[in-house]
Amino acid sequence: MQTQEQKKKNQEVSTGEQSLGADFDYAPSIESTDIVKINPKNKLFIGGKFVDSAEKKYFKTENPATGETLAELTEATAKDVDSAVKAARKAFGPWSKLSGQERGRYLYRIARLIQERSRELAVLETLDNGKPIRESRDIDIPLVAAHFFYYAGWADKLQYAVPGAKSAPKPLGVVGQIIPWNFPLLMAAWKIAPALACGNTVVLKPAETTSLSCLLLAEIIQEAGLPEGVVNIVTGAGETGAAIVNHPDINKVAFTGSTDVGKIIARSVANTDKKLTLELGGKSAHIIYEDAAIDQAVEGVINGIFFNQGHVCCAGSRLLLEESIAETVVEKLKARMEKIRVGNPLDKNTDVGAINSAAEHVKIKKLIETGKTEGGEYFEPSSVNLPAKGYYHKPCFFNRVSSAFTLSRVEVFGPVLAISTFRTTQEAISKANDTQYGLAAGIWSEKGSKIHKTAAALKAGVIWANTYNKFDPTSPFGGFNESGYGREGGRHGLFPYLDI
Ligand code: NAP
Ligand code: MG
């Protein structure tokens, strides 16, 4: 339980300021980390308690902004996963028999505790992930709470969620959920909230590099008095995820991550009766027509590709410009990129924080080298300086790329944009659809009819018009083709967790 003092601190706005050094020509304002207490060695959350693994194997998680170790985490073995599944199975009967109203009450309680401890959660997320504090504080954590509030409201209305249902559909049972590192707590909320609202119990594995906020969520779940075993959180590597997928007593697997791992999981469950949803990668097109509000569109492009360091599955990573405005947009984009502040994620002025891990940093740099070899025109802002320690990359783009270029086809998952041009609406549509993915797209035009015509022809799960990267719990999210199948969010986000 939090003390009154901790609660007060959680609600206060930090005023602590430190000097960031010569790299920055503005007054830095650094969020204090005093509010967060990180356990040096972390346990697994099974059956409502924090427990040791029988094997006692640990791995480290670091702060990518500095490269310093934050804590050690337990690497859960197949045996630990089995304990977690057993705890979830035991909890399933009583939990699924609770009235929807009672289940909703627990979810509301979790949502409120997330709001109360939002500052602590935001700072921890930024420390472990590297994302700017402004984003974790103003976007991620409020959305996490919003997802719990939203699905709390559905818990006693399930019969109205499914067209034609005469009574509330039944839950599936024990669900295994595996999430990536780019929005750790938000992905956990997208998975846990609808599963619980429908009456399922959960075994969730966060990503190796970003497990700390999920363990704090476990603490919140304990504080909310959720019955033991309804949510179990096991930390670990890929093998831990595989142990969940392959456990015979799992009824459903929900996975968000790379297309490669998604394919492995699809093969593993192929000859079982497990249900599966996959939220995978993307290479989303961002189209700007000549009649668009150009300055707003440039802001949209910046947000579309540089939000969260570009570690966004639906990032607008392919910019398609109508030929007549291409030069103007590129020049405006360059000028705007010179003003992006890359650096300490805890600085409230930072726009682009740290790349999540050394491995991702290497992968991004390699893809940029490939882009340079293939001959795109590379640009990175000269006035942006990077901190000496930690993993950082300048926001950048390649202009005049053809659709054969690696950067037009492969998901970089970093702050790298690929730009090309089109002459007609038809060409914009066919270029946008020329991808193995189908997660998202963006359209900029002042003409409603053009937006509707384009949107109707695009093969993408989410299409934004005159904005980009806006999320809301009421809106379903998911992809086509190699971006996966199933929807999360909104009423549709309930279906994968119900027997219908
Ligand atoms: P990843 O390497 O596929 O990992 C995702 C999760 O799967 C991690 O928890 C990972 O554990 C685990 N895992 C690894 N191998 C596994 C296996 N064989 N069986 C079961 N689980 C396994 O992806 P990532 O690098 O974390 O995330 C980036 C990717 O996620 C990008 O491609 C991005 O587009 C996608 N993404 C999609 C969405 C969406 O909604 N469509 C949202 C966010 C991200 P470890 O951490 O230990 O490797
Ligand atoms: Mg980390």
- Residue 419 confidence (pLDDT): 98
Residue 37: how many other CB atoms lie within 10 Å: 10
pLDDT at 27: 78
Classify residue 475: in a domain, yes or no.
no
Q: Give the pLDDT of residue 253.
A: 98
Residues 338 and 253 in one domain: no
Q: Which of the four pLDDT bands, split at 50, 70 and 90, describes residue 6?
A: low
CA of 482 to the centre of ligand 2 (A): 27
- So which residues are the catalytic ones? 279, 313
Closest ligand 1 atom to the C-alpha of 190? Answer: 40
Ligand 2 centre to CA of 69 (Å) is 8
Are residues 382 and 487 both part of a single domain? Answer: no
Confidence (pLDDT) at 180:
98
Does the pLDDT value for residue 136 go beyond 70? yes
* 411 alpha carbon – ligand 2 mean position (Å): 21
Q: What are phi and psi of 315, to 5 degrees?
A: -50, 140
Does the pLDDT of residue 24 top 70, yes or no?
no
Structure tokens at 386: 């990077």
234: CA distance to ligand 2 center in Å?
A: 16
47 and 149 in a single domain? The answer is yes
By percentage, how much of the chain surpasses pLDDT 70? Answer: 95
CA of 365 to the centre of ligand 2 (A): 20
Same domain, 270 and 400: no
pLDDT per position as a tens digit, 289-344: 999 999 999 999 999 999 999 999 999 999 999 999 999 999 999 999 999 999 99
Three-state DSSP at 498 gives: strand
CA-nearest residue, atom 35 of ligand 1: 257
Q: Is the CB of 242 inside a 6 Å radius of any atom of ligand 1?
A: yes
Nearest C-alpha to atom 16 of ligand 1 is from which residue? 238
In this structure, are 297 and 432 located in the same domain?
Answer: yes
Q: Is the pLDDT of residue 178 over 90?
A: yes
pLDDT of residue 25: 57
Q: Which helix (H) or strand (E) holds 205?
A: strand 201-205
Residue 28: predicted pLDDT: 79
Predicted pLDDT of residue 454 = 98
Mean pLDDT over 62-79 rounds to 98
Q: How large is the average pLDDT for residues 5-11?
A: 49
- The answer on 189 and 49 residing in a single domain is yes
Which pLDDT band holds residue 4 (cuts at 50, 70, 90)?
low
Flag whether 143 is in a domain. Answer: yes
Q: Is the CB of 134 under 6 A from ligand 1?
A: no
Question: Do the domain assignments include residue 477?
Answer: no
Under 8 Å CB-to-CB from 346, ≥6 apart: which residues?
Answer: 30, 31, 33, 65, 123, 126, 127, 133
Domain of residue 221, CATH code? 3.40.605.10
Q: Is residue 242 part of a domain?
A: yes
The CATH number given to whatever domain includes residue 320 is 3.40.309.10
**Tens of pLDDT along 398-422?**
999 999 999 999 999 999 999 999 9
pTM, entire model: 0.94
Do 244 and 321 have their domain in common? no
Range of the domain at 176: 4-279+482-499
Task: Taking residues 431-435, report their average pLDDT.
Answer: 98
Q: Are 154 and 258 found together in one domain?
A: yes
Band of the pLDDT at 26, cuts 50, 70, 90?
A: low
Note whether residue 476 is domain-resident.
no
Mean pLDDT over each residue of the chain, to the nearest integer:
94
Does residue 257 line the site of ligand 1, with CB under 6 A?
yes
Instruction: Specify the pLDDT at position 17.
Output: 31
Q: Which ligand is nearest to the CA of 356?
A: 2
Q: Which residues contact 498 (CB under 8 A, 6 or more apart)?
A: 158, 161, 162, 169, 170, 171, 172, 198
Q: Is residue 119 part of a domain?
A: yes
Contact 140, 181 (CB under 8 A): no
Total domains in the fold of the chain: 2
Ligand 1 atom closest to residue 237's alpha carbon, by position in its atom list = 47
Task: Please give the pLDDT value at position 9.
Answer: 46
C-alpha to C-alpha distance for 5 and 11, rounded to whole angstroms: 10
Q: Is the domain of 187 the same as that of 334?
A: no
Q: Say yes or no: 263 and 366 in one domain.
A: no
Rounded CA-CA distance 76/236 in Å is 5
Task: Let me know whether 411 and 491 are in one domain.
Answer: no
Q: Give the whole-angstrom CA distance, residue 361 versus residue 390.
A: 10
**Based on the domain organization, do 398 and 420 belong to the same domain?**
yes
CA distance 48 to 398: 50
Q: 205: Cβ below 6 Å to ligand 1?
A: yes
- Cβ–ligand 1 distance for 176 under 6 Å, the answer no
Please give the structure tokens belonging to residue 280. 């995978």
Inside any domain, residue 352: yes
DSSP E strands in 280-358: the ranges are: 285-288, 318-322
